[in-house]
Amino acid sequence: MRRPLIVGNWKLHKTLGETLELVNAIKTGSENSTEVDIAVAPVFTALSVARATLAESRVGLAAQNCYPEKQGAFTGEVSPALLKDIGCLFVILGHSERRQLFGEDGAFINRKVHAVIKEGLVAILCIGETLAQREAGTTFDILATQLREGLQKISAEDMKQVVIAYEPVWAIGTGKTATPEQAEEVHAFIRSLLASTFDAGVAQSTRILYGGSVKPDNVDNLMAQPDLDGALVGGASLKSADFLRIINFQKS
Ligand code: PGA
């Protein structure tokens, strides 16, 4: 069975002081949430502070991005090796903000997926269609392309270190969530792609998260869908009460 995974993507938010406050609240509030895997992704500069607080907790550390080289003349970049060194378990890759605002393409994201796996970390590979693509009826084509590009030359064995996050771009930060049925339709499609790309075992064991305006009031219905294995949470992960409610979802 796939264990649910809830990841808080803090994006460009929180000072060191605010990070400490939030991780402390999440650490304490999640002590009894034993049925779910939890991670938070603070900004790079706050990873070390978050790590110190979360070391003995149920909450794992995630990074929001990385560069696909170990070290070298890459000014301004951070490698998976350094993220591992600081205690990260997960790295979010291919987020639509990286694709749209920073021009990341499928080949570059694929290099990052390889680099993260090689370092022994888990890659959270984000894919998702824009509103225009959904309205043009190309959602499945777009997702198939992003998945194929992102997982180029990734083996079935490597897939143990990959989580997929379906994040419809039109639902990110907009308050518009995909309906549980819309999300389930896409998740089932992604799982079928994993079966045809790899095998039934990989399709059944790979966690597929949903992201895009996940909130305390919609998480229960989303998580009730059979192919939703968790959530990548942006805005609602910045408030401890909201994030803790999401972690403690009740399938309805
Ligand atoms: P949101 O962000 O929950 O604020 O929509 C999700 C994400 O970008 O991962």
> What string of pLDDT tens digits covers the 252 residues of the chain?
899 999 999 999 999 999 999 999 999 999 999 999 999 999 999 999 999 999 989 999 999 999 999 999 999 999 999 999 999 999 999 999 999 999 999 999 999 999 999 999 999 999 999 999 999 999 999 999 999 999 999 999 999 999 999 999 999 989 888 999 999 999 999 999 999 999 999 999 999 999 999 999 999 999 999 999 999 999 999 999 999 999 999 987
For the annotated catalytic residues, the residue numbers are 95, 167
Residue that is written with structure tokens 């990341």 in the block:
104
217 is written with which tokens? 């009031």
pLDDT recorded at residue 1: 80
Closest CA to 191 of 2, 9, 55: 2
CB of 214 shorter than 6 A to ligand 1: yes
Closest CA to 113 of 143, 144, 149: 149
Whether 153 and 114 have beta carbons less than 8 Å apart is answered as yes
Atom nearest to 172 CA in ligand 1: 5
Which 8-state DSSP code applies to residue 238? Answer: S
CB neighbour burial string for 140-164, b if at least 16 within 10 angstroms, e if fewer: eebbbebbebbbeebeeebbebbbb
Task: Give the CATH architecture of domain 5-247.
Answer: Alpha-Beta Barrel (3.20)
Rg (CA), the chain: 17
pLDDT recorded at residue 176: 86
State the CB neighbour count (10 A cutoff) for residue 106: 18
Query: Could you give the CA distance from residue 245 to residue 231 in angstroms, rounded to a whole number?
Result: 12
CB of 231 shorter than 6 A to ligand 1: no
Report the separation in Å between the CA atom of 246 and the middle of ligand 1, taken as the mean of its atom positions.
13
CB of 228 shorter than 6 A to ligand 1: no
Domain ranges in the chain? Answer: 5-247
70 is written with which tokens? 């170990």
Residue 60 β-bridge partners: 39
Which residue minimizes the CA distance to atom 2 of ligand 1? Answer: 234
pLDDT recorded at residue 152: 98
Report the separation in Å between the CA atom of 167 and the middle of ligand 1, taken as the mean of its atom positions.
8
Which residue minimizes the CA distance to atom 9 of ligand 1? Answer: 234
46 is written with which tokens? 């706050």
Closest CA to 23 of 56, 1, 71, 72: 56
Residue 9 β-bridge partners: 41
What's the half-sphere exposure (Cβ side, CA atoms, 13 Å) at 64?
19
pLDDT recorded at residue 90: 98
pLDDT recorded at residue 252: 74
pLDDT recorded at residue 56: 87
Cα–Cα distances in angstroms (integers) from residue 74 to residues 45, 69, 77, 115, in the given order: 18, 9, 6, 15
Report the separation in Å between the CA atom of 142 and the middle of ligand 1, taken as the mean of its atom positions.
19
pLDDT recorded at residue 222: 97
Report the separation in Å between the CA atom of 73 and the middle of ligand 1, taken as the mean of its atom positions.
32
Cα–Cα distances in angstroms (integers) from residue 35 to residues 3, 218, 250, in the given order: 7, 19, 11
